Amino acid sequence: MSADRVWNRGALEAGGDSPGPGDRALASLLLVHGLVMNGGVHHAIECVEPVELAAAADGYAFFGFHDVAEFFRGTSVDHVLSTWDDNTEVVANRRYAEMVPDDSHLVARFEVVFRERPQLFAPLGPS
């Protein structure tokens, strides 16, 4: 299925050699989401450069996760995101999990955008 190939290109190849806007949004979102799933929200914020976090926020917004986009855009002003201790880690992770309960939420939104606006993604080469 082509949606699977585009998803994998975003996850494994940072969107590919000539990414479209959808590919860039997906790759940026998946970079931060993967880090959140690996080590938590604070881990993700710590591991990426500010420009990567901003791109991820834009990626979440691109796919309709405006609440997650605002969450990450608020890292410098939100006490839970800017102060790292055991309590804020738990709260930050809980807030993210409420917005993105599991990977299937991301997949479902991606598939809708891919189906409705495939021109936003680079063409697929031979498989």
Residue 1: its pLDDT value, please? Answer: 61
In a domain, 65, yes or no: yes
In a domain, 127, yes or no: no
In a domain, 7, yes or no: yes
Q: Which pair of structure tokens corresponds to residue 33? A: 């989401």
The pLDDT tens digits for 67-77 are: 999 999 998 88
The pLDDT tens digits for 40-62 are: 999 999 999 999 999 999 999 99
Is residue 9 within 8 Å of residue 116, measured between CB atoms?
A: no
The parent domain of residue 90 ranges over 2-12+20-116
Closest C-alpha among 124, 100, 107, 126 to residue 26: 107
Residue 73: its pLDDT value, please? Answer: 96
The pLDDT tens digits for 14-40 are: 998 899 999 999 999 999 999 999 999
| Number of domains comprising the chain | 1
Residue 81: its pLDDT value, please? Answer: 79
The predicted model gives 99-111 an average pLDDT of: 96
Kindly report the number of other CB atoms within 10 A of residue 100's CB atom: 21
Q: Tell me the C-alpha distance between 112 and 38, whole Å.
A: 26
Is the model's pLDDT at 3 over the cut of 80? yes
The predicted model gives 110-114 an average pLDDT of: 97
In a domain, 30, yes or no: yes
Residue 127: its pLDDT value, please? Answer: 61
Tell me the three state secondary structure of residue 15.
coil
B/e letters for 54-86, b = 16+ CB within 10 Å, e = fewer, are bbbbbbbbbbebeebbebbbebeebebbeebee
Is the model's pLDDT at 89 over the cut of 80? yes
In a domain, 103, yes or no: yes
In a domain, 28, yes or no: yes
Phi, psi at residue 55, to the nearest 5°?
-65, -40
Q: Tell me the C-alpha distance between 61 and 32, whole Å.
A: 13
In a domain, 25, yes or no: yes
In a domain, 27, yes or no: yes
What lies within 8 Å, CB to CB, of 21 at 6+ separation is 62, 120
